[in-house]
């Protein structure tokens, strides 16, 4: 029969395969209904002209409308930047309001209200847990998993507000093992960070650059080794978020080589930016006369010192150690009293007062495509694994992240190599609500030409630009992870 949409004449990439340009994809009712080697007819036809056709991107680590980030992106302004960057699904965090507030279910309901009719792409939620008491672990998490399809939890080993003890992490891991929930862990040694922070403060070393000195690589290395040990103890998989250290990634690699199910995430900032950007007198062009501009690059873990470190993270992208590539979009406006400028107190800079995090939803997919796939550093399949199919598997998005019959018709279509005129990025080209991008000045050789969400064109770069509205995005209930699970060790103690 007649399809709503037919896409053809491109290299169709899924995590394990590339199908030739003779492939036709037939879409009806927002779903992929047929993949054919012979022509299909449709009401609308998209000719990819030999470019790559990939599953829509999944950005599984973003922060939107978080109450603790008043000058950040809202659901509306953050997701507005998703389709133009090839992303069709995001997973932001619903956050426990305070350690004393145990009503995580109400917090999630509030996020539902905030997100509904304010999202340009599909979305799910992770929850952040800062106080793993019985009420949350035994009553609320099972309810959130069953009724809301929230099957992942983030915990922190650092930040005074969120930091958990090792024993609390063990409690959550055991609870998650029983419930089949994926655990995301922010791994940095909090005592090292507090200790160095105090020493820097005594010496009045508080410029933005000292943010990176205060969170050294060893803090990540130690905490990574520790949380892997905790995961082995409970015999349950974990995902270590936003990894920036080659050494820590080597520890993950070692666990993976021993068939221990440890997953790793990294982000564009750890592939493309060094701590040089935090300095006023840095070697690139963005800073002009504003000595505080380094604050734009404050995120945790911090940008690392050398290109050699960045190369180490690239190696982990190439060799399979890294499981998912997310943005950790956690921005705040620079020129705003509650944004990055909050770190200037009476004209004196203090890195500790600068909200942490960078914008990056829109630039994530194009950066890795241009600098990874088009340069030959990674294959197109590896790219799809990192940006689409692994996040879908890890987080139980069972209709997303691949191109197969019965799945949601979510796609990103790239220009055939050489067709798009290369350009240098400026913030005015982006669709978020933030007044800068850390990737301004980067040259792009490609960009999403079309982004398609459940069969609708939501981004057409050459004809109309953003076609989605803020009621386009739908909430996605997730199932459990299909990545390797626990082996059930010590069940006589734990069950
Ligand atoms: O600096 C960052 N990444 N802030 C966001 C919160 C987090 O730890 O992911
Ligand atoms: Zn984190
Ligand atoms: Zn600079
Ligand atoms: Zn984050």
State the closest ligand 1 atom to the C-alpha of 156, by its place in the atom list counted from 1. 8
Tell me if 469 sits within 8 A of 298, measured CB to CB.
no
Residues with CB under 5 A from ligand 2 (ion): 186
- Ligand 3 mean position to 283 CA, how many Å? 6
Query: Alpha-carbon distance 101 to 139, whole Å?
Result: 15
Q: Which atom of ligand 1 is nearest to the CA of 241?
A: 9
Q: Which atom of ligand 1 is nearest to the CA of 330?
A: 5
* CA 241 to centroid of ligand 2, rounded, Å: 6
- Give per-residue burial for 286-298: e unless 16+ CB within 10 Å, then b: bbeeeebbbbbbb
* Protein residue with its CA nearest to atom 2 in ligand 1: 357
**Rg from Cα positions in the chain:** 22
Given the structure tokens 């999630």, which residue do they identify? Answer: 108
Surrounding residues of ion ligand 3, Cβ less than 5 A: 282, 284, 286-287
pLDDT recorded at residue 285: 54
Whose CA is closest to 412, among 3, 14, 28, 2?
14
* Residue tagged 């840095």 (tokens): 282
d(Cα 34, Cα 40) in Å, to the nearest integer? 9
Predicted local confidence at residue 488, as pLDDT: 79
3 state SS for the chain = CCEEEEEECCEEEECCEEECCCCEEEEECCEEEEEECCCCCEEEEEECCCCEEEECEEEEEECCCCCCCCCCCCHHHHHCCCHHHCEEEEEEEEECCCCCCCCHHHHHHHHHHHHCCCCCCEECCEEECCCCCHHHHHHHHHHHHHHHCCCEEEEECCCCCCECCHHHHHHHHHHHHHHCCEEEEECCCHHHHHHHHHHHHHCCCCCCHHHHHHCCHHHHHHHHHHHHHHHHHHCCCEEECCCCCHHHHHHHHHHHHCCCCEEEEECCHHHHCEHHHHCCCCCCCCCCCCCCHHHHHCCCCCCECCHHHHHHHHHHHHCCCCCEECCCECCCCCCCCCCHHHHEECCEECHHHCCCCECCHHHHHHHHHHHHHCCCCCCHHHHHHHHHHHHHHHCCCCCCCCCCCCCECCEEEECCCCCCCCEECCHHHCCCCCCCCCCCCCEECCCEEEEEECCEEEEECCCCEECCCCCCCCECCCCCCCCCCCCCCCHHHHC
Could you check whether the bond before residue 301 is cis, i.e. omega within 30 degrees of 0?
A: yes
Give the residue carrying structure tokens 């609500």: 433
Ligand closest to Cα of 186 equals: 2
Closest-CA residue, ligand 1 atom 9, reads: 328
> In testing the pocket of ligand 1, which one of 95, 297, 356, 360 has its CB within 8 Å of the most ligand atoms?
356
Neighbours of 280 (CB within 10 A): 15
State the CB neighbour count (10 A cutoff) for residue 404. 11
Ligand 4 mean position, distance from CA 12 (Å): 31
- Per-block mean pLDDT, blocks of 10 residues, the chain (495 long): 94 90 97 97 97 98 92 97 98 84 89 97 96 92 96 94 95 94 97 98 96 98 98 96 98 96 97 92 65 94 96 98 98 97 94 97 98 98 98 97 98 96 97 97 97 98 97 96 80 84
CA dist 313 and 441 (Å) reads 22
Q: Give the per-residue pLDDT at 96.
A: 78
Q: How far is the CA of 434 from the centre of ligand 3 (A)?
A: 18
How far, in Å, from the CA of 167 to the mean position of ligand 3? 42
Q: CB within 6 Å of ligand 1 — which residues?
A: 63, 186, 242, 299-300, 328, 330, 356-357
Minimum-distance ligand 1 atom for the alpha carbon of 356: 1
- Bridge-based pairing state of the strands 448-453 and 456-460: antiparallel
Measuring from atom 7 of ligand 1, which residue has the nearest CA?
A: 300
> What pLDDT score was predicted for residue 487?
74
Contact 303, 297 (CB under 8 A): yes
> Ligand 2 centroid to 188 CA: how many Å?
9
* Spatial CB neighbours of 300, under 8 Å, sequence gap ≥ 6: 158, 186, 188, 215, 242, 356, 357
CA distance 329 to 210: 22
Residue nearest atom 4 in ligand 1 by C-alpha distance: 357
pLDDT of residue 284: 64
**CA 277 / ligand 3 centre spacing (Å):** 5
């Amino acid at each position: 029969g007649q399809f709503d949409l037919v896409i053809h004449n491109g290299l169709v990439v899924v995590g394990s395969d590339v199908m030739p340009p003779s492939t036709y994809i037939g879409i009806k009712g927002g779903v992929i209904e047929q993949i054919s080697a012979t022509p299909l007819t449709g009401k609308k036809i998209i000719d990819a002209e030999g470019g790559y056709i990939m599953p829509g991107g999944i950005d599984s680590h973003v922060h939107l409308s978080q109450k603790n980030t008043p000058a950040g992106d809202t659901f509306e302004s953050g997701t507005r930047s998703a389709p133009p960057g090839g992303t069709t699904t995001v997973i932001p965090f619903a956050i426990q309001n305070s350690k004393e507030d145990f009503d995580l279910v109400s917090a999630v309901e509030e996020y539902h209200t905030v997100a509904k009719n304010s999202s340009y792409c599909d979305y799910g939620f992770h929850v952040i847990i800062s106080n793993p008491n019985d009420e949350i672990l035994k009553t609320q998490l099972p309810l959130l998993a069953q009724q809301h399809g929230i099957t992942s939890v983030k915990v922190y080993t650092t930040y005074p507000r969120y930091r958990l003890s090792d024993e609390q992490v063990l409690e959550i891991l055991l609870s998650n093992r029983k419930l089949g929930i994926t655990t995301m862990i922010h791994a940095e040694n909090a005592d090292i960070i507090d200790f160095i922070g105090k020493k820097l403060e005594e010496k009045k070393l508080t410029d933005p650059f000292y943010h990176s000195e205060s969170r050294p690589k060893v803090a990540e290395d130690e905490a990574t080794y520790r949380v892997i040990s905790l995961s082995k103890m409970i015999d349950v998989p974990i995902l270590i978020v936003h990894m920036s250290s080659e050494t820590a990634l080597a520890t993950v690699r070692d666990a993976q080589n021993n068939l221990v199910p440890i997953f790793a995430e990294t982000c564009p900032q750890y592939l493309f930016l060094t701590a040089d950007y935090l300095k006023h007198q840095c070697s690139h062009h963005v800073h002009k006369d504003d000595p505080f501009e380094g604050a734009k690059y404050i995120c945790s873990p911090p940008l690392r010192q050398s290109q050699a470190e960045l190369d180490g993270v690239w190696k982990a992208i190439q060799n399979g150690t890294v499981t998912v590539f997310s943005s950790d979009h956690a921005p705040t406006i620079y020129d705003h009293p509650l944004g990055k400028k909050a770190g200037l107190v009476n004209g004196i800079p203090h890195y500790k007062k600068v909200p942490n995090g960078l914008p990056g939803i829109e630039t994530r997919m194009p950066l890795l495509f241009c600098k990874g796939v088009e340069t030959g550093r990674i294959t197109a399949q590896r790219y799809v694994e990192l940006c689409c199919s692994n996040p879908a598997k890890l987080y139980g998005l069972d209709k997303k992240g691949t191109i197969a019959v019965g799945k949601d018709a979510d796609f990103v279509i790239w220009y055939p190599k050489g067709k798009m005129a290369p350009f240098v990025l400026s913030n005015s080209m982006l669709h978020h609500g933030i007044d800068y991008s850390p990737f301004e000045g980067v040259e792009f050789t490609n960009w999403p030409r079309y982004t398609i969400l459940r069969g609708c064109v939501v981004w057409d770069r050459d004809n109309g630009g953003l076609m989605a509205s803020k009621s386009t995005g739908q909430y996605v209930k997730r199932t459990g992870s299909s990545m390797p699970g626990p082996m059930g060790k010590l069940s006589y103690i734990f069950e």
